[in-house]
Amino acid sequence: MVLSQKSSFHLLLIFFIPFLFSSCKDSETKEDEASVETTLEKTVPEDLKWSERMLMSEIYRFPEASKLDFREEPKWSYTNGLVLKAAKQVYEQTNKKKYYDYIYDFADTLITDDGEIRTYKLSDQNLDMLNSGNVLLYLYPKTKEERFLTALKTLRSQIDTQPRTPDGGFWHKKRYTQQMWLDGLYMGEPFYAHYTQMFSEGEKAKEAYDDIVHQFELIQEHAYDPKTGLLYHGWDSSKNQKWANKETGTSPNFWSRAMGWYGMAMVDVLDYLPEDHKGREKIIKYLNQFAEAVTKYQDKDSGLWYQVLDQGDREGNYLEASGSSMFTYTFAKGVKKGYLPQEYLQVAEKTYDGILKNLVKVEEDGVVNLNQVCAVAGLGGDPYRDASYEYYVNEEIRSNDPKGTGPFILASLQLDK
């Protein structure tokens, strides 16, 4: 059969039209899928500042602030106060109510209607527990909830009954007899000073401020090493601990996070110490000595600090995130407040860049992870922690420990990154 030219054209159309339609449809579907993919919201948007990105990541990991620090049950602990201090500042910068709600939820969960603090025992005389009192010092003036004030008074009463060394230094905990730790300066003194500023006056306030400054004087007197300018993690006034030097009472090593706690203690307590108090000059002097000493041990390539500060070349030592973040915060805030020379801002910037390059990883959904954080380190206890080099470098290392993420957020805010 011979087909006309017209018939041939019709047959071609019948054959190709479904194919063309199918191709167009496939093309449109792919474009639609691509469009949906690009418009899908990430868990943590990447166009925000690092401070907010990390806070959002923490809220994603721990939707209940009372369970920060990988807890299955709500707990009153110092790490909550550390992250929520950062959350408070992010809230003040962004005015996003979800951050305030996150802070409030912690207090609402752990403070009963009668003002009792769930999971807290005054009889433990544990300085760590005072740090989350800063959350209540923030919330009480806003909410005027009587239960928050009652809880604050309980925490403040701990200071009056805290056991002390013969020269007046707070024991770190009741069970750590005669011991001052650098950590304790951060846990206790900013809360003590802030509470005093809010609720005390006259001679009572002066006595409290003098007592606060005295804690710094004592740790400088007993834990300071004149050779390096660094401070040892702890000091045992009785010199009975196995870790204690029999002549000086100090522990044998310089732990980066302990020094980090101490640096943050100084820049934070100065927020509340009156301008005319003679102790301000003393603490600023200690801070400058601290900055000079710590900077000597900064890793030149990465800008970070090692877990055991002065032994970066030893096997097993590693660049640690929490200490590095704490030093960044301390230096940046110290410069901004006029306590430290401008050069330390460059030190902070270098460290911060090093953290982003070496220790931060962003997931596909935008969630931010901070790696290489020492999970915990202490002195004595059971099993016994001997404060040796081997002890510090063999403690657990984990990602997103709040003792790293909190200071990372605080450092990010100071540097406005």
**Does residue 8 have a pLDDT over 80?**
no
| Residue-level pLDDT at 10 | 52
Q: How do residues 198-235 score in pLDDT, each as one tens digit?
A: 999 999 999 999 999 999 999 999 999 999 999 999 99
What percent of the chain lies above the pLDDT cut of 70?
90
| Residue-level pLDDT at 40 | 64
Half-sphere exposure of 93 (CA within 13 A, CB side): 19
Tokens of 303: 């800008």
Read off the pLDDT of each residue in 301-323 and give the average, rounded to a whole number. 98
Read off the pLDDT of each residue in 6-23 and give the average, rounded to a whole number. 47
Half-sphere exposure of 294 (CA within 13 A, CB side): 33
pLDDT interval class at 31 (50, 70, 90)? very low
Quick count: other Cβ atoms within 10 Å of Cβ 121?
11
| Residue-level pLDDT at 36 | 44
The span from the CA of 331 to the CA of 329, in Å, is 6
Q: How do residues 366-391 score in pLDDT, each as one tens digit?
A: 999 999 999 999 999 999 999 999 99
Structural Rg of the chain based on CA atoms? 27
**Does residue 74 have a pLDDT over 50?**
yes
Of the listed 183, 236, 268, 310, which one is catalytic?
A: 183
**Does residue 252 have a pLDDT over 50?**
yes
The span from the CA of 303 to the CA of 356, in Å, is 11
pLDDT interval class at 19 (50, 70, 90)? very low
Contacts of 224 (CB under 8 A, 6+ apart): 230, 231
**Segments making up each domain of the chain, as ranges:** 46-415
Alpha-carbon 128 to chain mean position: 14
Tokens of 63: 């939707």
The span from the CA of 367 to the CA of 180, in Å, is 38
What percent of the chain lies above the pLDDT cut of 90?
90
**Does residue 174 have a pLDDT over 80?**
yes
Among 316, 196, 185, smallest CA distance to 263 is for 185
Half-sphere exposure of 147 (CA within 13 A, CB side): 13
> Contacts by 32-39 with C-beta closer than 8 Å and gap 24+?
none
Contacts of 326 (CB under 8 A, 6+ apart): 257, 259, 260, 261, 263, 264, 407, 411
| Residue-level pLDDT at 167 | 98
Task: Count Cβ neighbours within 10 Å for each residue of 248-273 and write b for 16 or more, e otherwise.
Answer: ebbbebbbbbbbbbbbbbbbbbbebb
∠ CA 50-355-386 to the nearest 5 degrees? 125
pLDDT interval class at 37 (50, 70, 90)? very low
The overall average pLDDT reported for the chain is 93
β-pair type (373-374, 234-236): unpaired
Amino acid letter, 132: S
| Residue 360 dihedral angles phi and psi, to the nearest 5° | -105, 135
Q: How do residues 339-354 score in pLDDT, each as one tens digit?
A: 999 999 999 999 999 9
| Residue-level pLDDT at 41 | 85
The span from the CA of 403 to the CA of 374, in Å, is 9
∠ CA 62-189-55 to the nearest 5 degrees? 20
Q: What CATH number matches the domain at 46-415, 1.50.10.10, 3.10.129.10, 1.10.1740.10, 1.10.287.130?
A: 1.50.10.10
- Helix, strand, coil shares of the chain, percent, nearest 5, are 55, 5, 35
**Does residue 153 have a pLDDT over 50?**
yes
Strands (DSSP E) along 130-253, which ranges? 179-181, 234-236
**Does residue 21 have a pLDDT over 50?**
no
Tokens of 405: 């993420």
Please indicate whether residue 183 is annotated as part of the active site.
yes
pLDDT interval class at 119 (50, 70, 90)? very high
Quick count: other Cβ atoms within 10 Å of Cβ 160?
6
| Residue 214 dihedral angles phi and psi, to the nearest 5° | -60, -35
Q: What is the DSSP string of 58-77?
A: HHHH-SSGGGTTT-SS----
